[in-house]
Structure 1
Amino acid sequence: MHATARGGRRLGAVVAAIVALPLGLGAGVAAAWGGAGELFVADATPTPTETPMPPLPSASIDPAPPRTCSITGTVTQPNALDAHGLVENAETGEVLFDYGAEQPTPTASVMKLVTATTAMYELGPDTRFETKVYPGETEGTYVLVGGGDPTLRAGGPSVYGDRAPSLDDLAGQLRERGIRVQRIGYDESLFTGAQWHPSWHEHDRADGAVGDVSALMVDAGRQDPAAHYSPRTRTPAQDATNAFAQKLGVANAGAQTPKAGSEPVATVQSVTVRDLVHELLLNSDNIIGEALARHVAISRGTGSDFAAISEAQVQVLRELEVPTDAFNGADGSGMSLENRATALTIMGIVELIQRDEHGLGELREYLPQNQISGTLKDRLPGIPSGQVQAKTGWTDEVFGLAGFMTLADGTRLRFAVFVAIPPASGQRTTLDNRDALDAIITDIYQCGTGLRGSIRTVSV
């Protein structure tokens, strides 16, 4: 394994460490490094030898071009709010820009990088979740038992496509087996606790961004299953059971318990965790994020409610040697006001993806691409199409973006940048703040490896 540096990030042996923040970065950041212009240099005292080594010919040294490109003005403009960020050369590990990277910030949907990574690692990419029908305690009563698959379809057109299982599949199995159902009840007990996080905004339910989270739901609770953004139900399990009861021509028996010791009489499986993560990252599906976070918590034994998520995520991140200082995973989607992460934590995950450690490299292919796909389809027009692959994030408190960019010469950078509302300001983000974030990312691309903000040269 690599040695650790800066709160546990895996890096190679440090060959030099120099901090030279440009004037104008801000007093808070300069103080974090002991004052602008202060240098920290590794001990370079030579070890005495009998015969001094001859100097290398100057022709063998290929010095890096000077780094003189500053984005300080863009980062400190008013619409950039309280900005935090970290940019590194993905090929050398060199830190090109560090602006409050150790300070926690709200995450918005950049939190989904945490959820995706922990789900792929903990649950496995080929895992599927099962929705089952069991005999009930009363003769003729059967129980629809949720297995934590929010993509289960009522049966019609869905944003999740025909590969997602449907209630029609379950009803067909019951008919094929000649099972006569008189009443159908439901069991959503796999997930516990509140189904709506108290810090979520009510308008996000009406706008269709998120809804109540249940282990039993159809079409992620959307009123219009074919629309990504559709108002969400407040009673997901009851709605799913009503839909199933209609297909069977029977009554909804309400909450029920399967008969003790019974075996399922019908079962459908979700698509794989890999497929769910793809949808999570590409289209920023919040309900999938909540379901996956609970499955990770259940697997880790921390619980099955909102309160169990953060502990489970921290356990996995530490196992992956990602720094977790000041981290709080209040939910799996990033919608909560209480989520906190540093740019160092997010960069640790981006680096895992780049290195393809534990098979996580495929996550890069699921990230939106600027001007091409997902939540970046209409963004970053100042950068050639497809040169940025990154997870977006947006709430009333913050805009964020984290992932990779490929420069014109083929060099790759990795980055994590946030523009957040200052604490207790009472403000809400606007599209002007998103444009400020996009301007920062565009300037990073234009500066490339000439970006100047801090210097920490490492071997990888």
Structure 2
Amino acid sequence: MRLVYLLVSIWMVICINNTAIAKNRKHSSPARSRSQSAPTVTYGASQLADQINNLVRSSNLDADIAIYVKSMQSGDSLYARNISQPLTPASTMKIFTAEAALLFLGPEYRFSTQLLTDAKGVKNGILQGNLYIVLSGDPTLTYDDLVDLMLSLRTHQIQAIAGNVYIDNTAYDQSFYGPGWVGKDKVSCYGAPISAGIVNKNCLPFQVTPSHVTGRPAQVVTSSKYFYPVIKNSVTTRANGTRSCSVRLSADPTSVIAIDGCMPKGRYAWGVSYVVADVPEYDRELVKNLLNRLSVNVFGSVTFGSAPDNLSLVGAHTSKPLRFIINEMLKKSDNVIAGALFKKMGQLYTHQPGSWQNGGYAVAQILSNRAGINTANMRILDGSGLSPDNLATSAQMMQVLDFAYHHYATSYEFITALPIAGVDGTLKRRMWNIARKVRAKTGTMSDTGVASLAGYATSADKETLAFVIMINGNRGMGWKYKALEDKIATALTRYQG
């Protein structure tokens, strides 16, 4: 079946390319057609090496640059530059996380969020015991999912709970931010906290709309798809055309979202996103809200506690299979998914609450023992690559790409999850000149001058070339680094062995 899917995919790509060529010919003027020439083909590894060297030299970058190119058909190394130098990989770290998760958890693995009870039964609509909400660290869990889960109480005709409601958030530890994450990352949704309780990626978007009258308060507009703590709005409306206005967010000790500042009068709303800071307290208030919505009375309290063994199942929510979650993580470079998978592997591998420490240990052991990757001196601090202190060599990343390509059991899930040049994900607006010929994971840290690109390119003679490009340089040079990456990737698509 996998072979059928692969053949169908190839057929679709050929059809799409042929259609695009036909359209271009139809709409091109004769003069323009005559002026165009076919891309220059690079013959042999020697010419390819000369071309890449020239690209690096002409870029005139003051940076550490590692490049590795290898044929997936012959196994030959076609180009190698500083491949043993440890560098910060940024989000290409997700390549390690994705392959380790596919190998250890399996493509069909699902997260499960459960409602359990120690009660012997329900009497007159009252659950005769405690209710446990067991959070699994599912990075795809939403508020709507929890609403559906809590509706299980109605299915069992539960109108009240005689004991307590315990939130079990022990799947992961209480260290929510990865080692080395900087301040601005922690207040951005891409760096939201990684906990056992992840709801809507621990990020709450809403809009602020100005009044039509200067001096009056702006209006906060929320979405029914999210649960919001109390929002204290102090944003005022200024005269139209005011340029010095901005909106500031903060959270006080009682978890109230405080928003202040000003915005110009007009028709346009501003989008604002709040990162949940106190995750346990947010989860507690969310559960209280859900119970209140369902008119379920709790005779005890809503608190935290680990679920004991031998409990009865009241209801459960399961995520989509891991293969879909991996796809979203790699296409969108989703840090929350990466962090959750990292801690989940740590939890299941060590039989301890998932943490940054045992997550790194688990990923290294899985890749070493199951894929034969040399993980010596590799520094794996988080699953996303958000920490600037992560370190890996291009040789180590190439080993993972090589194994992932040839590992039949999970190769399809891994390769198809990578962004496609000029088509989707983080490569949608890059390399349109070689659209569909490159599948690769991007990595960027603008503040520290890190750029990386790793994946697969299809050569002029339809050979698959795995490649790794890692650049550690200076702040503000990201656009130049990406330009070099794109030129090298283009050169690979014109290679003919």
Q: Aligning the two structures, in what range does the TM-score lie when normalised by the shorter sequence?
A: 0.7 to 0.9
Q: Give, in angstroms, the shift of residue 120 of structure 1.
A: 0.8
Preserved contact between residue 67 and residue 449 of structure 1 (Cα < 8 Å):
no
Preserved contact between residue 203 and residue 275 of structure 2 (Cα < 8 Å):
yes
- The alignment partner of 1:313 has SS state of helix
Tell me if 1:296 matches 2:354.
no
More strand by share: 2
**88-97 or 115-124, which moves further after superposition?**
88-97
**226-235 or 183-192, which moves further after superposition?**
226-235
Q: What is the root-mean-square deviation of aligned Cα atoms in Å?
A: 2.7
Give the aligned residue type for 1:175.
R
Q: 1:316 aligns with which of 347, 362, 366?
A: 366
For residues 196-234 of structure 1, what are the alpha-carbon distances to aligned partners after superposition, in whole Å with 9 as ceiling and x for unaligned? 124112222333212111111211101139899954211
Between the aligned partners of 1:66 and 1:431, the Cα distance in structure 2 is: 28
For residues 275-331 of structure 1, what are the alpha-carbon distances to aligned partners after superposition, in whole Å with 9 as ceiling and x for unaligned? 111111111111111111122122221742111122211211112112223211101
Q: Could you list the runs of 4 or more consecutive aligned residues of structure 1 that deviate by over 6 angstroms after TM superposition?
A: 136-140, 225-229
Preserved contact between residue 381 and residue 387 of structure 2 (Cα < 8 Å):
yes
Q: Give, in angstroms, the shift of residue 408 of structure 1.
A: 3.1
Preserved contact between residue 209 and residue 286 of structure 1 (Cα < 8 Å):
yes
Preserved contact between residue 90 and residue 443 of structure 2 (Cα < 8 Å):
yes
Equivalent residue number for residue 279 of structure 1? 328
Preserved contact between residue 88 and residue 472 of structure 2 (Cα < 8 Å):
yes
> Could you say if the C-alpha distance between residues 370 and 410 of structure 1 is closer, same or farther in structure 2, counting changes exceeding 3 Å?
same
Tell me if 1:356 matches 2:407.
yes
> Could you say if the C-alpha distance between residues 244 and 78 of structure 1 is closer, same or farther in structure 2, counting changes exceeding 3 Å?
farther
Where does 1:41-120 land on structure 2 (aligned, <5 Å)?
65=44, 67-68=46-47, 69-76=50-57, 77-79=59-61, 81-120=63-102
Give the aligned residue type for 1:197.
G
For residues 82-116 of structure 1, what are the alpha-carbon distances to aligned partners after superposition, in whole Å with 9 as ceiling and x for unaligned? 11110112221221110101111111111111111
Equivalent residue number for residue 172 of structure 1? 151
Preserved contact between residue 131 and residue 145 of structure 1 (Cα < 8 Å):
yes
Preserved contact between residue 437 and residue 493 of structure 2 (Cα < 8 Å):
no
For residues 229-282 of structure 1, what are the alpha-carbon distances to aligned partners after superposition, in whole Å with 9 as ceiling and x for unaligned? 954211334324423322220687232344664323221111111111111111
> Could you say if the C-alpha distance between residues 91 and 80 of structure 1 is closer, same or farther in structure 2, counting changes exceeding 3 Å?
farther
Equivalent residue number for residue 367 of structure 1? 418
Q: 2:451 aligns with which of 391, 399, 413?
A: 399
Where does 1:122-271 land on structure 2 (aligned, <5 Å)?
122-135=104-117, 142-155=131-144, 166-182=145-161, 184-224=165-205, 230-249=273-292, 253-258=302-307, 261-271=310-320
Between the aligned partners of 1:66 and 1:344, the Cα distance in structure 2 is: 18
Preserved contact between residue 375 and residue 392 of structure 1 (Cα < 8 Å):
yes
Equivalent residue number for residue 437 of structure 2? 387
For residues 395-416 of structure 1, what are the alpha-carbon distances to aligned partners after superposition, in whole Å with 9 as ceiling and x for unaligned? 2331111110112332221101
Between the aligned partners of 2:45 and 2:355, the Cα distance in structure 1 is: 51
Equivalent residue number for residue 408 of structure 1? 460
**338-347 or 293-302, which moves further after superposition?**
293-302
Give the aligned residue type for 1:316.
I
Between the aligned partners of 2:368 and 2:184, the Cα distance in structure 1 is: 35
- The alignment partner of 1:71 has SS state of helix
Tell me if 1:438 matches 2:486.
yes
For residues 431-453 of structure 1, what are the alpha-carbon distances to aligned partners after superposition, in whole Å with 9 as ceiling and x for unaligned? 3332333233333434x247xxx
Higher relative contact order (CA 8 A, sep 6+): 1
Preserved contact between residue 89 and residue 449 of structure 1 (Cα < 8 Å):
no
* Structure 1 residue ranges without an equivalent (≥5): 1-63, 156-165, 451-460
Q: Give, in angstroms, the shift of residue 80 of structure 1.
A: 6.6
For residues 367-423 of structure 1, what are the alpha-carbon distances to aligned partners after superposition, in whole Å with 9 as ceiling and x for unaligned? 100110111000123x3211000111112331111110112332221101111137x
Equivalent residue number for residue 10 of structure 1? none
Between the aligned partners of 2:374 and 2:435, the Cα distance in structure 1 is: 32
Between the aligned partners of 1:265 and 1:189, the Cα distance in structure 2 is: 19
Between the aligned partners of 2:305 and 2:76, the Cα distance in structure 1 is: 58
> Could you say if the C-alpha distance between residues 203 and 154 of structure 1 is closer, same or farther in structure 2, counting changes exceeding 3 Å?
same
Between the aligned partners of 2:44 and 2:458, the Cα distance in structure 1 is: 18
Normalising by structure 1, we get a TM-score of 0.74
**134-143 or 72-81, which moves further after superposition?**
134-143
Q: Give, in angstroms, the shift of residue 172 of structure 1.
A: 1.3
Equivalent residue number for residue 246 of structure 2? none
Between the aligned partners of 1:181 and 1:235, the Cα distance in structure 2 is: 28
For residues 337-362 of structure 1, what are the alpha-carbon distances to aligned partners after superposition, in whole Å with 9 as ceiling and x for unaligned? 22111111111111122213443332
Tell me if 1:332 matches 2:383.
yes
Normalising by structure 2, we get a TM-score of 0.69
